[in-house]
């Protein structure tokens, strides 16, 4: 998992054996298409998604997840 700098802010990429499996350039689950404001927020969500993948659970992020991680939306 690594951060991704884009014009409008930050996102993250999750790879498996150098193959991109998730590329997230916008904050999931919110109505507006908006990137993460900073690298730290992108990495927080990316790490949660990675943790869910490793646990063989759905990597879906919820609004509650964003609130618990204190992500600015």
Q: What pLDDT was estimated at residue 46?
A: 98
pLDDT digits (tens, 9 = 90+) for 3-22: 999 999 999 999 999 999 99
Average pLDDT (50-70) is 97
What local confidence, expressed as pLDDT, does residue 42 receive?
Answer: 98
What is the Cα–Cα distance from 53 to 46, expressed in whole angstroms? 11
Q: How far, in whole angstroms, is CA 52 from its chain's centroid?
A: 12
Q: What are phi and psi of 16, to 5 degrees?
A: -135, 115
Enumerate residues 6+ apart whose C-beta is below 8 A from 6: 25, 35
Q: Which of 37, 17, 19 is nearest to 27 (CA)?
A: 37
> What's residue 36's pLDDT?
97
pTM metric for this prediction: 0.93
Quick one: pLDDT at residue 73?
Answer: 84
């Amino acid at each position: 998992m690594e951060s991704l700098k884009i014009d409008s802010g930050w996102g993250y990429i999750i790879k498996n054996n150098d193959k991109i499996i998730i590329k997230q350039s916008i904050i999931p689950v919110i109505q507006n298409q908006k990137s993460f404001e900073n690298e730290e927020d992108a990495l927080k969500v990316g790490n949660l998604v990675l943790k869910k993948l490793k646990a063989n659970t759905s990597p879906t992020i919820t609004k509650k997840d964003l609130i618990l991680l204190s992500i600015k939306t």
